[in-house]
Structure formats: structure tokens, C-alpha cells
Amino acid sequence: MSKKRARLSRRNRAKNPERTKKGQSSPPALCESPPPTQTGPVPTGTESLPEQSDPGADREDYLTYRQQSAIPIIAAAPTTAQAARDTGLSERTIRRWLEDEEFREELTRLRTEQSNFVRQELKRLMVRGAAVLAEAMEDPNMAIRLRAANYTFSFGSQVDGSEELGNRLQALEDAVSLNDRTKPPK
């Protein structure tokens, strides 16, 4: 079966779970939850809850249950071989999945989400680290104060270098975009 046909088949099964091959059952949906139970007053119809939308939900409809289950593990693995060991799948299967555009998009979305989380956590920890360095600079032991000052200067120069590099990069991007706007159309 061609990849395109297989993808269309998965889409049709996702839309019509009853239409599966004879003797096959459709994979269980990961995101389905039981209907909420009513404990308070019955809504009158004028009150409505805003719909919650998951940015990756529509893409997950095109992935198989196995792919949906394995994608967080694959996203966290440093290599395809490690992902295969961690998921219990073959490397060939993972490589084949990586050729699928929807799978790659979902994997990229998840990795971006993870890296954004890590970046935010590091920023939070840097504030705590700066407070610890400031506290260490007040220590009565001269060796600890000198070491804290050394770390402060080292980290400070790295931050300054990063800011300078960022400013230079921004200036280059501005120059390129200005150059693109002033070019006459062909």
C-alpha cells in the first residue's frame, strides 16, 4: 500500500471508526475522556463554556495510536537508536514514520514545546542563581567571596557577549530587510 493511500486510510478510519477492515478494531483515542458528570444546577442554555482547543489535536487525528504513544519518547531520545530501544520499536519503523509529514510536524511541535519549557525553567533558575551568588559575596570566608566574584564576572561577561551578539545579529537582519525593500522589482 502506498504511503498516500495509507495516510488516506488512516484519515478515513479517524473520521469513521466503524469503517475498519473486517476483524480489525479501531485504535482507542488517546484524548477522549468520559463525559463530565453533572453535580450542580442544570445549565439554562444561556451560559456556555468556551471550547478548549488543543493546537496539536487536529494533527493527532492523522497519526496511529502507536505513533501517538511513541512520539513523546521519540522526542526525548537523543538518537533514533535510543528511541527504538526506549519504545521497543525497530529503527526502521521510526525512520519510516519520520518520512511522514504529519508525524514530523507533530514531533517538531512537541520538541518546540519541550524546549520552550526548558528555556523558561532555566530563566527562572538563573534568577535564583544570581541571588545565591549575591549571598555568597557576603560570606565571611574570603575564599568563598572571591570565588563568587569570579563566577559573577564570568557569567556577566558571557551575558554581555550574548547581548552584543544579539544586537549585531538584529542590526544585520535590519540591514538585509532594508536592502530587500530598496531593491527594484525584477
Question: pLDDT of 122-170, one tens digit each?
Answer: 888 888 888 888 899 899 999 998 898 888 888 877 877 888 888 899 9
Residue 76 shares a structural domain with residue 114: yes
Distance CA 151, CA 175 (A): 36
The answer to whether residue 38 is domain-embedded is no
The answer to whether residue 115 is domain-embedded is yes
C-alpha cell at 153: 564576572
Note if the pTM is more than 0.75.
no
Is 14's pLDDT higher than 50?
yes
The answer to whether residue 157 is domain-embedded is yes
Residue 152 shares a structural domain with residue 101: no
| Helix 101-136 and helix 142-182, axial crossing angle in degrees, nearest 10 | 140
Residue-number span of the structural domain to which 84 is assigned: 59-124
The answer to whether residue 71 is domain-embedded is yes
Confirm if 10 and 24 have CB atoms less than 8 A apart.
Answer: no
The answer to whether residue 108 is domain-embedded is yes
| First-to-last C-alpha distance (Å) of the chain | 46
State what percent of residues in the chain have pLDDT above 70. Answer: 66
Residue 114 shares a structural domain with residue 71: yes
The answer to whether residue 73 is domain-embedded is yes
Q: What pLDDT score does 150 carry? A: 87
- The amino acid occupying position 96 is R
Q: How many domains does the chain have?
A: 2
